[in-house]
């Protein structure tokens, strides 16, 4: 949607960082700012002129900006599960699906930090949506809830390191409501200047949705700014690691719930005073699941051996990493409960610099949810959240003018998809059947097979359907209270 060149943006920056070490008594504070459904590259420093993000831009200019960051699962609570547990979603049982329980059989980094003396807490959206209480948790796995970061800091014990999670939801859609459109207009964002990505129709409805989305970005950045001010006034800014990112791509059709970049690629910037050396861009591929072990590592703690994701501490400190970071693996199971008999839509995928390979393990099912409605609170194609543009496309479902977008968003998909990202950055033309790409397809197919084997993926058994049987707690969950 926005043409960018991160290297040109940071051409004037020094590219080497200075390694840094700290003692156990000097544990840093950690502030984790997690936007909800905010996709790459929608930040000013990433080259989007419509995204007003002075706070994110500051974190990037004074720290490390990551150019290739992806979630493990393009779905809210599963994405957050992988961050908390530091594992791939298929290693987490029911937590790979939306609106699940949260079994206590796997350590979460927040509790490890608490055991090590950190004061932890959150505001906004924690691990959610789901039902953690049914699994025996007395509080959300993220920790105790606070009204906001300011309130947390007022009761924070002096001299005690803290971890605080800000779960901002301003960039999420509100069922088509234009709650934040006025904020975008006040920031000078004009719908007429928007470049509409080709997978969406160019219509008034999509421009209204995008205006609201950009207004949400303004609100997200403003909340981050307030938190930074609290740190500055407390004299704790430079001893606080600030991680600013998002759990998923945007909530527009073909975004959230999909392993395309629009659902999986997110912004990420990290600041830690002068301890990270000179500001720089990191082009290595990073997964949000890497954050769990990273937080522990930065706090001077040893990540549990069963964390299969890998800390990016060495990358932050400009040291040798020793981990292959030329790609990320993506997956999904059940997003919303919108198919007959509670069926999942399982996907395994790999994203490299040149290609996106997607394996749809049940191509007979509807990726966007069944066309029919089985539950009173759901709508057709329920894995596509309600927006004005979704309603527009449903009204024009048979209109040949929009046949391409309808097929891309709502139609069934083949068992394999392959996209040449150099020629097709929006991932619109499937080349899995093109003989010219036979070698690339075979290589990526093998890499996914090996990953599934090495990580013990139950889907290695083609008949496995365990995720279809896990409970879906839906709107009755109390997880977000």
A 10 A CB-CB count for 143 gives: 22
Residues 219 and 74 in one domain: yes
* Edge-to-edge strand ranges of the sheet holding 347-352: 327-332, 347-352, 355-360, 416-420
Portion of the chain with pLDDT greater than 90, in percent: 87
Give the C-alpha separation, 11 to 104, whole Å: 46
Residues 430 and 452 in one domain: yes
pLDDT at 474 over 90: no
* Structure-model confidence comparison of residues 18 and 184, the more confident one: 184
- Asked whether 347 and 361 are in contact (CB, 8 A), the reply is yes
16 within a domain of the structure (yes/no): no
203 within a domain of the structure (yes/no): yes
- Angle ∠(185,32,272) on CA atoms, nearest 5: 105
* Six token digits for residue 12: 């004037």
The pLDDT of residue 220 is 98
- Asked whether 385 and 173 are in contact (CB, 8 A), the reply is yes
pLDDT tens sequence across 294-320: 999 999 999 998 899 999 999 999 998
283 within a domain of the structure (yes/no): yes
Give the C-alpha separation, 355 to 420, whole Å: 5
Residues 352 and 250 in one domain: no
Phi, psi of 226 (to 5 degrees): -60, -40
Portion of the chain with pLDDT greater than 70, in percent: 92
The pLDDT of residue 373 is 64
Domain boundary among 288, 322, 356: 322
Give the C-alpha separation, 432 to 272, whole Å: 43
Lowest-confidence region among 56-70, 255-269, 379-393, 427-441: 379-393
pLDDT tens sequence across 103-119: 999 999 999 999 999 99
The pLDDT of residue 12 is 35
The pLDDT of residue 25 is 52
The pLDDT of residue 5 is 52
User: Which of 190, 447, 153 minimizes the C-alpha distance to 328?
Assistant: 447
Model pTM? 0.93
19 within a domain of the structure (yes/no): no
Domain boundary among 268, 290, 322: 322
- Average pLDDT (219-237) is 98
Task: Find the helix packing angle between 403-410 and 388-395, rounded to 10°.
Answer: 120
- Burial pattern 152-172, b for ≥16 Cβ within 10 A else e, equals bbeebeeeebbbbbbbbbbbb
The pLDDT of residue 11 is 38
pLDDT at 480 over 50: no
Domain that holds residue 288: 27-322
Count the domains in the chain: 2
Residues 366 and 282 in one domain: no
Domain boundary among 287, 322, 357: 322
CA dihedral 266, 129, 140, 143 (to 10 degrees): 20
Give the C-alpha separation, 447 to 454, whole Å: 10
Give the C-alpha separation, 442 to 426, whole Å: 22
Give the C-alpha separation, 334 to 344, whole Å: 4
pLDDT tens sequence across 60-92: 999 999 999 999 999 999 999 999 999 999 999
The pLDDT of residue 478 is 35
pLDDT at 455 over 50: yes
pLDDT at 284 over 90: yes
pLDDT at 23 over 80: no
User: How would residue 177 be classed by pLDDT, with cut points 50, 70 and 90?
Assistant: confident
User: How would residue 481 be classed by pLDDT, with cut points 50, 70 and 90?
Assistant: very low
The pLDDT of residue 90 is 98
pLDDT at 1 over 80: no
User: How would residue 372 be classed by pLDDT, with cut points 50, 70 and 90?
Assistant: confident
């Amino acid at each position: 949607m926005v043409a960018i060149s991160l290297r040109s943006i940071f051409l004037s920056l020094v590219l080497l960082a200075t390694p840094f070490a700290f003692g156990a008594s000097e544990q840093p504070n950690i502030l984790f700012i997690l936007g909800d459904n905010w996709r790459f590259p929608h930040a000013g420093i990433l080259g989007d002129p419509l995204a007003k993000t002075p706070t994110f831009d500051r974190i990037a200019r004074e720290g490390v900006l990551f150019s290739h960051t992806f979630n493990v699962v393009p779905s809210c609570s599963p994405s957050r599960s992988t961050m908390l547990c530091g594992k791939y979603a298929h290693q987490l049982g029911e937590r790979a699906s939306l609106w699940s329980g949260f079994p206590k059989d796997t350590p979460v980094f927040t509790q490890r930090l608490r055991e090590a003396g950190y004061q932890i807490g959150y505001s906004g959206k924690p691990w959610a949506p789901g039902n953690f209480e049914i699994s025996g948790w007395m509080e959300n796995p993220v920790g105790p809830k606070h009204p906001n970061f300011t309130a947390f800091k007022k009761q924070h014990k002096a001299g005690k390191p803290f971890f605080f999670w800000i779960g901002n939801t301003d960039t999420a859609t509100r069922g088509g409501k234009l709650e934040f459109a006025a904020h975008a207009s006040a920031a000078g964002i004009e719908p007429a200047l928007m470049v509409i990505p080709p997978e969406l129709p160019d219509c008034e409805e999509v421009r209204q949705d995008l205006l609201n989305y950009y207004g949400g970005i303004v609100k997200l950045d403003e909340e981050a700014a307030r938190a930074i001010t609290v740190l500055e006034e407390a004299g704790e800014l430079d001893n606080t690691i600030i991680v600013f990112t998002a759990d998923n791509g945007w909530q527009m059709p073909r975004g959230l719930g999909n392993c395309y970049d629009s659902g999986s690629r997110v912004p990420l910037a990290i600041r830690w005073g002068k301890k990270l050396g000179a500001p720089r861009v990191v082009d290595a591929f990073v997964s949000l699941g890497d954050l769990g072990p990273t937080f522990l590592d930065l706090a001077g703690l040893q990540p549990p051996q069963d964390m299969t994701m890998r800390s990016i501490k060495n990358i932050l400190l400009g040291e040798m990493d020793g981990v292959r970071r030329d790609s990320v693996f993506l997956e999904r199971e059940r997003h919303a409960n919108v198919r007959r008999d509670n069926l999942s839509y399982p996907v395994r995928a790999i994203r490299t610099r040149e290609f996106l390979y997607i394996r749809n393990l049940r191509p007979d099912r509807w990726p966007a949810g069944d066309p029919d409605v089985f539950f009173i609170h759901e709508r057709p194609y329920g894995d596509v959240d309600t927006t004005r543009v979704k309603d527009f496309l449903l009204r024009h479902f048979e209109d040949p003018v929009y046949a391409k977008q309808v097929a891309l968003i709502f139609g069934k998909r083949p068992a394999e998809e392959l996209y040449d990202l150099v020629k097709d950055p929006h991932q619109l033309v499937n080349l899995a059947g093109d003989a010219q790409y036979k070698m690339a397809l075979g290589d990526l197919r093998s890499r996914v097979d090996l990953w599934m084997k090495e990580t013990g993926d139950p889907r290695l058994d083609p008949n496995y359907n365990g995720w279809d049987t896990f409970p879906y707690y839906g709107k009755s969950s109390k997880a977000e209270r």
